[in-house]
A and B are shown apart, each in its own frame.
Chain A
Amino acid sequence: MITGATFWIATAIKVFAIVFGLVNLGALLLWVERRQSAMIQDRMGPNRASIKLFGKEFRVAGLLHSAADGVKMLWKEDFVPPGADKLLYQLAPVISLVPPLTLFAVIPFGPSIYPDNLRRVFGSEGWNAAASYIPLHISMADSGILVVFAMASSGVLGAALAGSSSDNKFSLLGGLRAASQMVSYEVTMGLSLVGSFMVYQTVRLEQMIQWQVDHAWGIFVQPLAFLLFFTAAVAETKRVPFDAPEGESEIVAGYFTEYQPMKMGMFALGELVEVMTSSALITTIFLGGWQFPFLKLDGFHFELFGIAKPIYMSHLAVVIISAITFIVKVALLVLLQMQIRWTLPRFRYDQIMKLGWRILLPASLINIMLTGIVLLFVNAR
């Protein structure tokens, strides 16, 4: 691993890329969501916002609506309800936006880069084994996924504080709902991954990916856990069908009823960033992370029907393909989450609780037991 000044420079670049990328992709997702929902409902979607350049009108497929929204939000009056707790009211949007961004610190978005060996094939002759490497994730914390859980659960605070500090009964109800729902699904989220920990024998995400590269993707090893974790992750994002905290037919806009301009935008952005981080997490734990099928660190290894045909590639090419693979996997999962959001109706509040405590929690416990039994037999062999 690299040390010294290069380490800090590399880390700064990674942090900037991830924060800048996620926040901007959030605006892009707003567009994706609008246009995708339009396509699903046989509509055209927003496509009118235009910019005039050199006397010509450019509409850019409605992308500018996100920009227009941003401008609008920035210029609107920033109103604080008179009865609100000023500090907590201002703090809540920040608390709901920062955790999903922070969560990305431990998620690897590519294999480690060896800057000295970019043009060489991994492990071949001339490979400088002693060279320092840059891991493509920000934090090398040993706690790994535990950081993710800690950050994800602190996301509850944002919604709960927003609800309690805005001096509005609808907000309070929304905040309460959000808090209870997120705490409930946090349990399933953690327990459904215990089986994966048992299989991978680690909580560090880059080691999980390495296990999946060497053996098989998590979704084939832990299919039930994938389903449970996916459901819990969707519930964590507080989006349809789990959007009872902001159920507009009952409690106006839930916990952010009293928020108008950019603060409301921060809640919305936090939600979209959460969609991306949860997709990245699922990709990392269950879909092999940055691994392209059959791609090892030194190139492609097709081992089907007893025929082994390795195609060796330079380290740089492998890293680029891997990073793109990661992005594509995350994008597909985000698209799936959006599709689910526009397919299913909202669950009733008691149905959400029932699903969480009576179905998902026992199922995740059963998954742990089954995994343990299977591992016992596999290891005894």
Chain B
Amino acid sequence: MREDTPSLFPNSGRASSGTAFTLPQSEDGGAARLVTIFGSLDPHGARRVRYVFDAGKPAYSEIVLPAEGPLRSIAREVPAAAWHERELHDQYGIEIVGHPDLRPLVFHDNWPDGVYPMVDRVDDVPWSKRDYRFLQVQGEGIAEVAVGPVHAGIIEPGHFRFSVVGDTILHLELRHFYTHKGTEKLFEGKSAGDGAMLAESVSGDNCFAHAVCYSQAVEDACGIKVPPRALALRLIGLELERLVCHISDIGGLCTDVGFSVAAAYATRIKESLLQASVQCCGTRYWRGVAVPGGLRFDFDSARVAELAQAVARAFRDFSKIARLSLETPSIQNRFEAAGVLSREAARDLAVVGPVARASGIDLDVRRDHPYGRYSEHPIEVPVTHYGDVMARARIRISEAAVSARLIQEAAKSLPDGGVFTPIASQGDVQGFSAVESPRGELCYWVEARGGRVTRCHIKSPSFQNWPAMPLAVAGNIIADFPLINKSFNLSYSGCDR
């Protein structure tokens, strides 16, 4: 195998120049977990970079640096920063010194060099032809297998380049961002209230988490208190979304190994929950429900009780089918020891959500940084250290149980009152919010002036977790990749934004 060469990565080399800062520590003395890195412009148009860390305290810690000059990369100390810094470079043209790999991440060959959408005008960008070089793995008997971006099944686009020896994967290189829609740019100029609809479109099956997270960020910026009834209904929606997502994931895992009976049952159970949602609020995935300030409309309490009953039924059916599947020897044989993500790799890449919890990282925004009404409900966070497909499946099943319980509790103690507090448009405000979406920690950072959004940064769990996939698949056979990929269940659209 060849090491990365300077010609491939022009900015490598350990440079000492560039603005730098001391990395924050967590309470136990280790390095704090990187949450996100993003750029913004100050009122005079000067570029700034914000680093958000989770040091274990209830609040996230933020570091702001001026970025008109070059910035020293932290990717060598914090590998999780690598993709964030590449995105920063693509969006703002900020020079980053000492980064091991500064190839374009977000933009593809058709995007011209030197056009940075967050600082330049992008109304009329010329079509261009850049050159993208994949990492080459060379040696005797090494073959390259390119998969996607168009796949045989109806799934989202993403390119996977495998270097294999026989059937064993040596290295996997990802190339995503085929569904990059410039969503963060599209937020600019939207009224703070309208932004929720755009946030919902970031990731289809997590649309409610996105809407709630965006709304919370705006509420944080404007300093408004949301009525308790709205918060309780949001909790029900968030947990229902997690339940649906996890049931669908277990069904998907069964489909991928051809265990068709369990897969068909999981699809049926998921559909029953979506239809119960329609009965309750008129929408399958709770689209158009959350809005900054609360909810767009109130729910009928009797309908909410019916929804809770449907959830109880669905969860009973699901736990039966999940137990049956995981007790089947042929399933155990496929799931166990496949796609192991080590704890070290998961920590280095600051992986979040069920994937992190399956690799021994005890982390859940609902418990660590409670929002909404989560502080009123005790949350068990299942954690296991095996890090294989089976561990991720088991974590999802345990989490589904917690979600089902939370929905029952919240539906039983649903407060009365209104569901909406109007947002007052103010001057220059900023807000941050984190939500535990079904795929893990989701963050929104919103800046608004006079009620209009001037910058909205979305840190999706998929963006954070995709770089861990190549580490989990290395050493596995290529025929097991779809299963490992499914067990991560990452969103392409959420990652690409």
A interacts with B: no
Interface residues, chain A, CB within 8 Å of chain B?
A: none
